[in-house]
Amino acid sequence: MIYNSDKSNPHWRLQEGENFSKIFYNCQKDCPKTSNNKLNCMKFFVRGVCDKSCNRAHSLSKDNSKKFEKFLADCREEAAKKDF
């Protein structure tokens, strides 16, 4: 297992009462890729843990971080709309 100990983006992590599958699973096809066309590891950045065999990106450049942050906000916003 690999753990994300980076404390710089705590708002990316699952918040109290959030369900990873309900918020992020349906959005995964829209998850931005890194500048070198690698998929971002949502488990690592959102849950904080991933498995060593994962071949997705576990670090992001500043530009890729901004894109990923917008993606997470969009996922949460879309999930909030479905709660009605």
Instruction: Report the amino acid identity of residue 26.
Output: N
Separation between Cα atoms, residue 27 and residue 23, nearest integer Å: 8
The residue-averaged pLDDT of 14-25 equals 92
80 pLDDT tier (thresholds 50, 70, 90) = confident
Q: How confident is the model at residue 2 (pLDDT cuts 50, 70, 90)?
A: very high
Closest CA to 40 of 69, 11, 3, 1: 69
DSSP 1-58: -EE----S-GGGSPPTT--HHHHHGGGGGGPPBPTTSPBB-HIIIIISEE-TT--SBS
Determine the pLDDT at residue 83.
Answer: 58
Share of the chain above pLDDT 90, in %: 80
DSSP class of residue 70?
H
Q: What is the pTM of this model?
A: 0.87
Task: Please report the pLDDT score of residue 84 as a whole number.
Answer: 52
